[in-house]
Chains A and B, each alone.
Chain A
Amino acid sequence: MGALNRVAPLLLFLAPLLIRAQTRPTFIAQPGRVIAIALPVSLLNDSGIARQLGSGLTTVFLLAAKPRGSARVDIRFDVWDEVWIVRRLDFDGHDERQRITSRDALEKWWSSPLRLLTGDPPHVSVDVTLTVLPFSAAESEDARAWISKSAGSAESGRGSPLVAAVIGTTLNAKPIRSYRWQSEVQLK
């Protein structure tokens, strides 16, 4: 009991560090001075993100990297077919879409490297920000049009311009999570 009392504060101190270590991505130097990022699976298991992934809405993962780079990952669970509809956009515009049928396959796909930016050898200081949005711009626009139409007169079917203006400027996805990682990457 006394030993536990001594260890408990240490565990409490170390727990955030351990969790943080689990959510750190891996940066990989690829041919052509490309730096890719492998996102940790633990992100998908985060309670807020996991709940959002099962909602049927598109969860958007936006990656912004310094010195210069960006990428995007969209994941939507198709509830009818029970498949994951995923999409990845690399920094150079490479667009990859897939239908993934199992959670294991999703995690495998998720942790595969995502091309993020190019850098100058021999090493690059990378500063990456990941923002997780609960729905896509298209879904936001669909909801905006729907509620704007609902606020208008039933006869005309046209929405109130005032309500449309208010909704149009407020239905922006608020991030449910955001992360920031910094690392030194050695380029070959």
Chain B
Amino acid sequence: MRGWRSIAVVVLAVCGATLLFWLLVHQVSALWMDVALRADVRQALQQSVDDQKKLRVLDANGSAEYRRHFEETSRLLHRLDVLRMSREQMLQRFEVMLVGLFAVAASLIAMSIVVRGNRGRARERSQYLDRIADLQEIERRRAHETRGPLTAARLELERADDAIARGAPQQEIAAALGSVGDELERLSRLTHRQPSFAAIGAPVLRPTSLAEVVKEFCTTFANAWPNVALRFEGGEARVCADRDLVRQVLVNLCTNSAMAIAEKGSVTFTIARNALDVADTGSGIPESLRARVFDPYVTTRRIGEGTGLGLAISRKIMLEHGGDLQLAGSTTSGTTFRLTFGEMDCN
């Protein structure tokens, strides 16, 4: 039904445009033809012909010359008469040809627009389905992550209940209840670990030395990821930034890098102008994920290893700095992210 409506709209649009074009062409071509066949032009030519005839009587010696002029003018007059008598036919044919060409061109353009629109809708549907699939995946992860501690806690409670029922030693009951507490603690840690967009505060921007932030980060987190060596290659930029939030971005990036580095590797920081490049020696991001890498809940990790919100949160932070976080490049031997800072007034 929607397709038929689109076709009807396109047909009506093409017909309307063609009709307007025909009206324009009709006016212009008729005007052009009427100018070419003006009555006063014919009268002037006719007068010239008559004059040549009169002149031969007055000047018999120049008769041959007058005749030559007469025949030239007569020929012109006859050609104009032929055109005048074919005026309507010529206009019709000319207009039909132009309007036909216009209609074909308009139809092609309209078809192209419709095809593009359909492709756009198909792409939009595909993207929507991808997002839904991502959400289903994260829900599955969350369910799996919470089910584990809950199941363990339930089993430990049953064990404690059984121990109480059969009058087991207090030590055994306490051990079972302790395990329940451990599982609940694990569940609590799990829910606190999941970052949320709502938890991100607005950046408090201050004039900041980017080199100082990176150096401090490299020192503080030197041993945070055992398989990753942090290196600062140098460079400096004075930017308006919130040190804590920038550090959170760097933590998120390095956490991802640590996951992507199989054994030992490094993360290198380089500052140039108002940008900070963060390059790792990991296995890279699959090409199919690169376009969606900043979408929430998009992750390459196994269930229980991450929620897929880190890059989304990091990008939001950088956008709020008036800059951006971009994927500068990714191959099977490493990935580089670029943090850019805007030209902002810190006040």
Contacts and interface: CB of A to CB of B under 8 A. Distances in A.
B65 to A, nearest CB: 13
Interface stretch (B8-16, B81-89, B336-344): B81-89
Interface in B47-76: 49, 53, 67, 70-71, 74-75
- What 3 A-B pairs come out closest when comparing CB atoms? A143-B82, A143-B79, A170-B90
A80 B70 contact: yes
B90 A167 contact: yes
A119 interface: no
Contacts of A140: 82
Interface of A: 55-57, 79-80, 134-135, 139-140, 142-143, 146-147, 166-167, 169-174
B78 A166 contact: no
B81 to A, nearest CB: 6
Contacts of B93: 166, 169-170
Contact of A146 (B79, B90, B94): B79
A79 B49 contact: yes
Contacts of A166: 90, 93-94, 97
Contact of B74 (A56, A135, A147, A172): A56
A140 B70 CA distance: 20
Query: Which among B67, B74, B81, B92 has the greatest number of chain A C-beta atoms within 10 A?
Result: B81
B74 A143 contact: no
B77 interface: yes
Q: Name the prevailing secondary structure of the A interface residues.
A: loop
A107 B79 CA distance: 28
A80 B71 contact: yes
Contacts of A167: 90
B82 A80 contact: no
Contacts of A170: 86, 89-90, 92-94
Given A80-B53, A170-B86, A170-B93, A56 B67 contact: no
A142 B79 contact: yes
Contact of B83 (A55, A79, A147): A147
Nearest to B56: A80
A146 to B, nearest CB: 5
Interface of B: 49, 53, 67, 70-71, 74-75, 77-79, 81-83, 85-86, 89-90, 92-94, 97
Contacts of B79: 142-143, 146-147
Contacts of B94: 166, 170
Given A80-B74, A143-B78, 10 more contacts: A79-B53, A134-B85, A135-B82, A135-B85, A142-B79, A147-B79, A166-B90, A170-B92, A171-B83, A174-B86
A55 B67 CA distance: 17
B70 A57 contact: no
Contacts of A174: 85-86, 89
Nearest to A167: B90
Nearest to A133: B85
A171 B82 contact: yes
A124 B108 CA distance: 60
Nearest to B74: A56
Nearest to B36: A147
B82 A172 contact: no
Nearest to A165: B97
B315 to A, nearest CB: 57
A143 to B, nearest CB: 4
Given A79-B49, A79-B53, A80-B53, A139 B70 contact: no
13 contacts: A55-B78, A56-B78, A80-B53, A135-B78, A139-B82, A143-B83, A170-B89, A170-B92, A170-B94, A171-B82, A171-B90, A174-B85, A174-B86
B59 to A, nearest CB: 15
Query: Which among B78, B79, B81, B92 has the greatest number of chain A C-beta atoms within 10 A?
Result: B79
Contacts of B49: 79
B193 to A, nearest CB: 75
B137 to A, nearest CB: 62
Contact of B89 (A56, A139, A172): A172
Nearest to A78: B74
Contacts of B81: 55, 57, 134-135
A140 B86 CA distance: 10
Contacts of A134: 81, 85
Given A80-B67, A169-B93, A57 B82 contact: yes
B75 to A, nearest CB: 7
Contacts of A169: 93
A139 B81 CA distance: 10
Contacts of A142: 75, 78-79, 82
Nearest to B49: A79
Nearest to B70: A80
Contacts of B92: 170
A178 to B, nearest CB: 15
